[in-house]
């Protein structure tokens, strides 16, 4: 459940962490969701970076690092 709540993005992580702390969730389950949330955030940040590059290419302002 912790893993799915991280992907839902209904609650800010600080509120979600406090909410999960009062449940009977085990430490391993919490850490699984916590690490899964990091992977998800990393993926979203990378996709946002790629979209920025695509927009620069379409705009004609992209400068190659070569």
Residue 66: per-residue pLDDT: 66
Whether pTM exceeds 0.85 = no
Dihedral (C-alpha) 55, 56, 60, 63: value to the nearest 10 degrees? -160
**Count of beta carbons in the 10 Å neighbourhood of residue 28:** 8
As for how many domains the chain has, the answer is 1
64 domain residue, yes or no: no
Model confidence over 17-58: pLDDT tens digits?
888 888 888 888 878 877 877 887 888 889 999 999 899 999
Higher pLDDT, 59 or 65: 59
9 domain residue, yes or no: yes
66 domain residue, yes or no: no
6 domain residue, yes or no: yes
Residue 58: per-residue pLDDT: 94
What residue has token string 């920025």?
52
Q: Is the dihedral of CA 56, 58, 62, 64 positive or negative?
A: positive
Q: Distance between CA atoms of 24 and 41, rounded to whole angstroms?
A: 25
Q: Distance between CA atoms of 32 and 39, rounded to whole angstroms?
A: 11
| Enclosing domain of residue 17 | 2-59
Higher pLDDT, 55 or 10: 55
Residue 13, pLDDT > 90, answer no
């Amino acid at each position: 459940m912790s893993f799915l709540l991280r992907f839902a993005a209904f609650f800010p992580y600080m509120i979600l962490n406090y909410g999960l702390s009062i449940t009977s969730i085990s430490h391993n389950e919490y850490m699984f969701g916590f690490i899964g949330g990091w992977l998800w955030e990393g993926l979203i940040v990378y996709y946002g970076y790629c979209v920025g590059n695509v927009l620069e290419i379409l705009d004609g302002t992209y400068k190659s690092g070569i």
